[in-house]
């Protein structure tokens, strides 16, 4: 499955359906495309902050994509004349080849107007039988080990930039707790405040976890296949 890293937290998964997550494209200094070039069947929005909600409403209007978001945010998006599914933490939707479950994130959220729009969230989703976890914006939290790891994640999209979210060191712990097979780092190096040493993150994931780090540069893609974990059993303490 081709996975496009548009930049920041925005990824586009090109399976039997096109699933777009956190489409911050207009104003994204790392984006190499414009919002009117993106196609999608479903759009997942983790929370209302502008660097995640982004162009969701405009893209959904143009493409007919269905939007999945926290109930208050989803209702606001739906009021703009697009199809929205306003779910809440623990809630699931089954569209056949694409299934999605909303999970917790430890972060804040508001509309572009500054108004309240419910909690920030993350998503576990299954596209063509591959299990993905997009953490949205979050600090490290123990549900990663106690709840999310139980879903046997293939590929996690995790923020590593610090300042607004967990940093790279916490993200390595998250990878351990999630027991995911692969991790794509997101939400780093977009702005000066979230400047991060990517090479160190990749090194630490390799040394300290059974996962493989799969960093992708904005505008480039990862050809992803479901596979086994790296057979390393001995952890070093971090």
Which of 134, 138, 156 minimizes the C-alpha distance to 23? 134
d(C-alpha 149, C-alpha 147), whole Å:
6
The answer to whether 137 contacts Ni ion (rule: CB under 5 A) is: yes
Is residue 122 within 8 A of residue 105, CB to CB? The reply is: yes
Neighbouring C-alpha atoms within 13 Å toward the C-beta of 215? 18
Residue 183 beta carbon to Mn ion: minimum distance, rounded to whole angstroms: 18
- Helices within 54-184 (DSSP H only): 56-63, 71-78, 143-146, 168-178
Piece of the chain touching Mn ion by CB under 5 A; list 18-26, 47-55, 67-75, 89-97: 47-55
Piece of the chain touching Mn ion by CB under 5 A; list 10-18, 45-53, 97-105, 125-133: 45-53
Question: Which CB sits closer to Ni ion, 137 or 179?
Answer: 137
The answer to whether 137 contacts Mn ion (rule: CB under 5 A) is: yes
Q: Which residue in 49, 85, 176, 187 binds Ni ion (CB under 5 A)?
A: 49
Question: Which CB sits closer to Mn ion, 137 or 179?
Answer: 137
Is residue 147 within 8 A of residue 85, CB to CB? The reply is: no
Q: Which residues bind Mn ion (CB under 5 A)?
A: 51, 137
Give me the residues that bind Ni ion (CB under 5 A), please: 49, 137
């Amino acid at each position: 499955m081709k996975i496009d890293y548009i930049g920041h937290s925005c990824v586009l998964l090109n399976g039997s359906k096109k699933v777009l997550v956190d489409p911050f494209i207009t104003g994204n200094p790392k984006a190499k495309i414009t919002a009117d070039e993106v196609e999608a069947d479903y759009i997942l929005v983790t929370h209302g902050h502008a660097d995640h909600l982004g162009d969701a409403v405009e893209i959904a209007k143009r493409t007919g994509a269905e939007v999945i978001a926290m109930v208050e945010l989803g209702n606001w998006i739906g009021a703009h004349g697009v199809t929205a599914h306003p779910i809440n933490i623990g809630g699931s939707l089954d569209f056949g080849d694409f299934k999605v479950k909303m999970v917790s994130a430890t972060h804040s959220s508001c509309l572009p107007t500054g108004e309240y729009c419910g909690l920030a969230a993350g998503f576990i989703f299954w596209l063509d039988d591959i299990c993905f976890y997009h953490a949205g914006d979050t600090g490290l939290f123990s549900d990663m080990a106690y709840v999310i790891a139980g879903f046997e994640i293939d590929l996690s999209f995790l923020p590593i930039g610090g300042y607004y979210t967990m940093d790279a060191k916490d993200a390595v712990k998250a990878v351990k707790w999630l027991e995911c097979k692969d991790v794509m780092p997101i939400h780093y190096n977009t702005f000066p405040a979230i400047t991060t040493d990517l090479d160190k993150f990749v090194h630490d994931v390799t040394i300290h976890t059974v996962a493989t780090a799969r960093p992708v540069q904005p505008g480039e893609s990862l050809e992803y296949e479901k596979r086994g974990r790296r057979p390393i059993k001995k952890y070093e303490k971090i």
